[in-house]
Amino acid sequence: MIQTLEWTKAGVRFLDQTKLPTEEVYVTCRSYQEVADVIRGMVVRGAPAIGVAAAMGIALGVESSRAQTLEEFERELHEICRVIGETRPTAVNLFWAIRRMQEKFQSLRACPLSKIRRGLVEEAQRMHVEDISINQAMGRHGAVLMPASGGVLTHCNAGALATCGYGTALGVVRAAVEQGKQLHVYADETRPFLQGARLTAWELVKDGIPTTVISDSMSGAMMRQGKIGAVIVGADRIAANGDVANKIGTYTVAVLAREHAIPFYVAAPLSTIDLLTPEGSQIPIEQRDPSEVTHIAGKPITPPGVEVENPAFDVTPARFVSAIVTEHGIARAPYEQSLTSLVRAAADGHRPPE
């Protein structure tokens, strides 16, 4: 099993996703600032993985805190959360994880500091374990949506590497393959960061799932040739109305899917659903460094002086989304109702089967 991130005695260990697929190297963070850096630098990426990384970063920070009083501790926790919270603005799982750690602190504030520290470290580790079982539940719910055989297109990486293991969109693919479905994954390479070519292909080849990498510009032609039976992607934030923020290019794939009457599915844990954001236009979109577009592997591909755009995400309106797969079941339009119901059912204590 791929260990995307892991709590170890030496610190939080991350598989360095900027080096894949050519090098499989690990980075161990010994401070919360180092965790913030690896999130910002996309050593770890993918909304669910970012969430757990944030929680572990907070745990690391409070574990090494020298605070002697609750007041001091709370001030440090606040600062740690502020630094971690400023790494990446779009993935709502980051803020969900910070809130969960803050709530855990509140529930423990009557305890001695040593117990609070231990409690927060355990909470971060629990989130890691939960994330994997959430993905497996998502896989069970979503597998039924996959065709019995044929091509399934995915964009970016919503796999084991975007989570603590198994994956969201690729978790659904894995579950379908485990059920005997004969799927062939078409992976958009996903410029500028090449998550599809580098990461999705790497983890699917490892699992023996047939995979074809295509340039992003080829997905339309593949659909027109009848090679794609379904599209499944992850999400970085889903607004209350079902609008989906996901890796730049997802919207293009959704428009193409509708043109070819191909179902377009999104797989994401409930922690990605942001009921406080009514619609997609209100989701903040991260603009990343122009050098991701102007350079590949350190080599310039554009002439000096040219402008570039580099939005990391786009928003796919809910009307393009055939269904949203969560660990608590499948939501369909109208999403205002279906998403709220799922989130409420989960809050009422119906935990996903583990």
Annotated catalytic residues are 236
Candidates 2-10, 19-27, 111-119, 172-180; binding stretch for a second copy (CB under 8 A): 19-27
Nearer to a second copy, 123 or 216 (CB): 216
CB 310 within 8 A of CB 304: no
Distance between CA atoms of residues 162 and 106, nearest Å: 29
Contact between 217 and a second copy by CB under 8 A: the answer reads yes
Candidates 127-135, 173-181, 206-214, 324-332; binding stretch for a second copy (CB under 8 A): 206-214
Contact between 197 and a second copy by CB under 8 A: the answer reads yes
Nearer to a second copy, 12 or 315 (CB): 315
Give 102-107 contacts, CB < 8 A, sequence gap 24+: 102/77, 105/74, 105/77
Contact between 154 and a second copy by CB under 8 A: the answer reads no
- Can you spell out the DSSP letters for 83-115? HHHTS-SS-HHHHHHHHHHHHHHHHHTTS-HHH
Distances (CA, A) of 27 to 86, 94, 132: 21, 20, 21
Q: Which one of residues 1, 299, 348, 353 is an interface residue with a second copy (CB under 8 A)?
A: 299
Distance between CA atoms of residues 38 and 25, nearest Å: 13
Nearer to a second copy, 43 or 52 (CB): 43
* DSSP annotation of 162: G
Three-state secondary structure call for residue 183: strand
Candidates 85-93, 105-113, 168-176, 299-307; binding stretch for a second copy (CB under 8 A): 299-307
Contact between 144 and a second copy by CB under 8 A: the answer reads no
Residue numbers at the binding site for a second copy (CB under 8 A) = 20-22, 155, 188-192, 194, 197-198, 201-202, 204-205, 210-222, 224, 247-249, 251-252, 255-256, 259, 293-294, 296-297, 299-311, 314-315
